[in-house]
Amino acid sequence: MTSLHDLSAVELLAHYKTKKLSPVEVIGAVIGRIEAWEPSLKALYAPDFEGARRVAKESEKRWHAGRPQGALDGVPITIKENIATKGVPVPLGTAATELVPASEDAPAAARVLEAGAVILAKTTMPDYGMLSSGRSSFHPLTRNPWNLAWNPGGSSAGAGAAAAAGYGPLHLGTDIGGSVRLPASWNGIFGLKPSLGRVPVDPPYFGRVVGPMTRSVADAALLMAELSRPDWRDHMSLPPAAIDWSLGPLEPKGLRIGLH
């Protein structure tokens, strides 16, 4: 049987619906996985397991009542530390940053919270996101779960390592020049750099996008459906579009790859 920490978001939601599993036991299992691996992996920043357990308990009540809050209700998630979450400082991977608690959730964080996801922790990154590794003057050195002597890639180093190690199914990274794609490749997971503006970003930053890092394409599609909702704070974001992110497998014959 697949361990609870290795179940996909799609599988978890199906089990919540049938009451085969509850968010409380899933969050507990994922926290147990993190506690076993994190001393070696060092992928996380600002974990809040007590808060996650409280949120999971509320999610459990909603599922038992047949009224889930949204498409991600009770699903564990981590968020890269440069994506603001209210009350948590944003060090940007560097010891040179003044640690001021964020005043509000960034768009991506707000969308997953609205959908009911349970934030376990933020994830590490190198200084200002400018390295393809987990080396940082603020965070401990993040390692690759496949081999602790290996580099997990960057700059979404913690997210890539956390996804591969089974720290839950959903993880958010950011990408300009490979910061989602490199750690996704080096950790053997799936990562997507969406088109610029498809996922609102605050503060707006030309070239930077927020993207899903998951162990399955289906989970990334589930996450993109929430991330791509509009947010007025990003004046560079694209107009809302009716995109079916859950579109099934396509026959590759006749398709073309576009490079930008």
Query: Which of the residues 80, 122, 133, 136 is marked catalytic?
Result: 80
Which residues touch 166 (CB under 8 Å, ≥6 apart)? 3, 5, 6, 30, 33, 37
155 is catalytic: yes
Tell me how far apart the alpha carbons of residues 196 and 167 are, in angstroms, rounded to a whole number: 28
Indicate if 156 belongs to the active site.
Answer: no
SS3 102: coil
DSSP state of 148: T
Q: For residues 190 and 8, give the distance between their C-alpha atoms in angstroms, rounded to a whole number.
A: 12
> Which of 132, 155, 156, 237 is an active site residue?
155
Q: Reply yes or no on whether 17 is catalytic.
A: no
Catalytic residue among 179, 193, 228, 237: 179
Question: Cα–Cα distances in Å, from 153 out to 13, 38, 180, 188, 195?
Answer: 30, 17, 9, 11, 21
Q: How far apart are CA 49 and CA 120, in angstroms?
A: 6
The set of catalytic residues is 80, 155, 179
